[in-house]
Amino acid sequence: MDTINTLIDASIRGTLLGITIFFWGCGLAAIWKWLFGVTKKFLHWLCPNCKWFQPKQEVKDTE
């Protein structure tokens, strides 16, 4: 009985740890995405004429 209780306790702890790590990772990814967006907007504001910030031009076919 003690072994079964230990296994159940370990599975519950593992599940809660996995869920916690998943949400922590999602939150960290969201923060990094926001930080990169803010940095890109700041650099665009700082250097508006830089070519690497301009939207890519679509190639138009002339028929």
The closest alpha carbon to 50, from 59, 42, 58, belongs to: 42
20 half-sphere exposure, CB direction, 13 A CA radius: 6
Can you give the pLDDT at residue 60?
67
In a domain, 39, yes or no: yes
In a domain, 61, yes or no: no
Token reading at 35 = 């930080």
**Residue 56 phi, psi (nearest 5):** -70, 140
Can you give the pLDDT at residue 30?
97
Can you give the pLDDT at residue 48?
80
In a domain, 59, yes or no: no
In a domain, 8, yes or no: yes
In a domain, 49, yes or no: yes
Q: What domain range is 13 assigned to?
A: 2-53
Helices (H), 1-63: 2-46
In a domain, 60, yes or no: no
Q: What does the pLDDT look like over 3-59, one tens digit per residue?
A: 999 999 999 999 999 999 999 999 999 999 999 999 988 888 888 877 776 666 666
Can you give the pLDDT at residue 51?
73
Can you give the pLDDT at residue 21?
98
Supply the pTM of this predicted model.
Answer: 0.61
Q: Which residues are CB-contacts of 53 (< 8 A; sequence separation ≥ 6)?
A: 40, 43, 44, 47
